[in-house]
């Protein structure tokens, strides 16, 4: 048994000198001192030793057991202390070093313009509404006086999701949904995304519009002119000129295009790259709501009237900031976005 004790001691001390992980040392402790460990087994075999030698062998076994327990405990403490020191060194903060500079975020120019437009109309008594981006054909076309055989459908360049559902081509379907669920008087503005198959320096497959409408008794084209003239002057400045030109939209009659005086040359430069020397910039479309639209939502066109308008956010933002390519809004170029 003495030979076994010395062998176990020698092998254990040699192993402790090479182990560099807590797991290895713990495994050694279990192998030697665990319930089925080698030293524990030798303790049980003491009864096999001659009675006159048993005290000497027992004392020697206890000495080796105590020595190994102490060395294992010291090895574990050293490894844990070293791990703490490595962790502290890795996590150390040098307070003399300059801190990292975080650039604060800000609103995208399209979002800034959208909020300015919405705030303008909210300040004039309009409320804000929203609707789904995926629309059925009825709300996107039919209820807006654009039946299946209407040529205006060909102008929309529509993304079809199913045979009967589309990515909305304008925000006007929200006008239908609001009027279906509520009765006049109504003053509503609808900001949101729209989608058409179109892409160049002035068009994007996804773009943004602000739709607005007002419905009540005896609403006239004069009300339309007053509201939009005031809104354009709040957005572009009190000196902004506003004009209305006859136009056509399926869901309004009569209809008009609304222009503002050129924000770059004020109509004084025949070579102006923005207005091409005309002095005017097209800004939005509008008109009195067609009686067919009222009938689609269950309104009596003899009892109520109203107007609607729609403007492209990208178009207005390009005019406000003199940007010549719509694709810059979606390129995520930080150099461009930091200017706003």
Q: Residue 155 pLDDT more than 70?
A: no
**Stretch 177-200: mean pLDDT, rounded?**
90
Q: Which residues contact 149 (CB under 8 A, 6 or more apart)?
A: none
Q: Give the global pTM.
A: 0.66
What pLDDT score was predicted for residue 2? 66
> Concatenated DSSP letters for 201-254?
TTB-SEEEEEEEEEEETT--HHHHHHHHHHHHHHHH-TT--EEEEEEEETTEEE
**CA atoms in the 13 A half-sphere facing the CB of 141:** 21
Q: What is the pLDDT of residue 178?
A: 96
> Quick one: pLDDT band at residue 53, thresholds 50, 70, 90?
low
Confidence of residue 213 (pLDDT cuts 50, 70, 90): very high
> Could you tell me if 284 and 263 are in contact, meaning their C-beta atoms sit under 8 angstroms apart?
no
Residue that wins the pLDDT comparison between 272 and 298: 298
Per-residue model confidence (pLDDT) at position 231: 93
pLDDT above 70 covers a percentage of the chain that reads: 88
Q: Per-residue confidence at 93, pLDDT binned at 50, 70, 90?
A: confident
The answer to whether residues 179 and 215 touch, using CB atoms and an 8 Å cutoff, is yes
The pLDDT of residue 247 is 94
**For residue 8, how far is the Cα from the chain centroid?**
65
Q: What value does the mean pLDDT take over residues 85-110?
A: 80
CA distances from 318 to 177, 202, 239, 279 (A): 30, 9, 19, 16
Q: In angstroms, rounded to a whole number, what is the distance separating the alpha carbons of residues 289 and 301?
A: 9
pLDDT value at 306 more than 90: yes
Count, residues in the chain: 340
Mean pLDDT value of segment 104-120: 90
- For range 210-234, the mean pLDDT: 94
The pLDDT, as a whole number, for residue 48 is 64
What is the average pLDDT value for the chain, to the nearest integer?
A: 84
Residue 173 near residue 144, CB atoms below 8 Å: yes
Q: What is the 8-class DSSP label of residue 183?
A: -
Instruction: Concatenate the DSSP letters of all residues of 12-77 into one string.
Output: HHHHHHH--SHHHHHHHHHHHHSTT-HHHHHHHGGGGS-TTTHHHHHHHHHHHHHHHHHHHHHHHH
Q: Which residue has the higher pLDDT, 117 or 86?
A: 117
Q: Judging by DSSP bridges, how do beta strands 280-289 and 252-261 pair with one another?
A: antiparallel
Helix axis angle for 109-122 and 221-236, nearest 10°, is 130
pLDDT value for 44: 64
Q: Which residue has the tokens 């150390």?
A: 92
88 pLDDT band (50/70/90 cuts)? confident
Query: Mean pLDDT throughout 128-136?
Result: 94
Q: What are phi and psi of 24, to 5 degrees?
A: -65, -45
């Amino acid at each position: 048994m003495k030979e076994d004790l010395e062998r176990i001691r020698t092998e254990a001390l040699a192993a402790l000198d090479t182990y560099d992980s807590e797991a290895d040392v713990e495994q050694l402790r279990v192998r030697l001192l665990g319930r089925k460990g080698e030293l524990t087994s030798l303790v049980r075999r003491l009864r096999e030793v001659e009675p006159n030698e048993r005290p000497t062998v027992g004392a020697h076994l206890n000495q080796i057991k105590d020595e190994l327990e102490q060395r294992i405990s010291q090895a574990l403490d050293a490894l844990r202390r070293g791990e703490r020191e490595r962790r502290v060194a890795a996590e150390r903060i040098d307070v003399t070093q300059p801190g990292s500079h975080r650039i604060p975020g800000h609103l995208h120019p399209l979002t800034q313009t959208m909020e300015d437009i919405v705030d303008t109309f909210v300040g004039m008594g309009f409320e804000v509404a929203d609707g789904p981006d995926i629309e059925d054909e009825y709300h996107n076309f039919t209820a807006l006086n654009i039946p299946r055989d209407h040529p205006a459908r060909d102008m929309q360049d529509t993304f079809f999701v199913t045979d009967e559902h589309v990515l909305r081509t304008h925000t006007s379907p929200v006008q239908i949904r609001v009027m279906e669920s509520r009765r006049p008087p109504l003053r509503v503005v609808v900001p949101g995304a729209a989608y058409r198959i179109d892409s160049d320096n002035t068009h994007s497959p996804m773009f943004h519009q602000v739709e607005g409408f007002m419905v009540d008794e005896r609403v006239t084209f004069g009300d339309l002119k007053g509201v939009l003239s005031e809104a354009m002057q709040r957005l572009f400045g009190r000196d902004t000129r506003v004009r209305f030109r006859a136009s056509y939209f399926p869901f309004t009659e009569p209809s008009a295009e609304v222009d503002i005086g050129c924000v770059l040359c004020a109509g004084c430069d025949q070579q102006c790259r923005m207005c091409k020397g005309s002095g005017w910039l097209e800004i939005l479309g509008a008109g009195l709501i067609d009686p067919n639209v009222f009938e689609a939502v269950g309104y009596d066109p003899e009892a109520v009237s109203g107007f609607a308008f729609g403007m492209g956010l990208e178009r207005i933002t390009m005019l406000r900031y003199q940007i010549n390519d719509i694709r810059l809004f979606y390129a995520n170029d930080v150099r461009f976005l930091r200017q706003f």
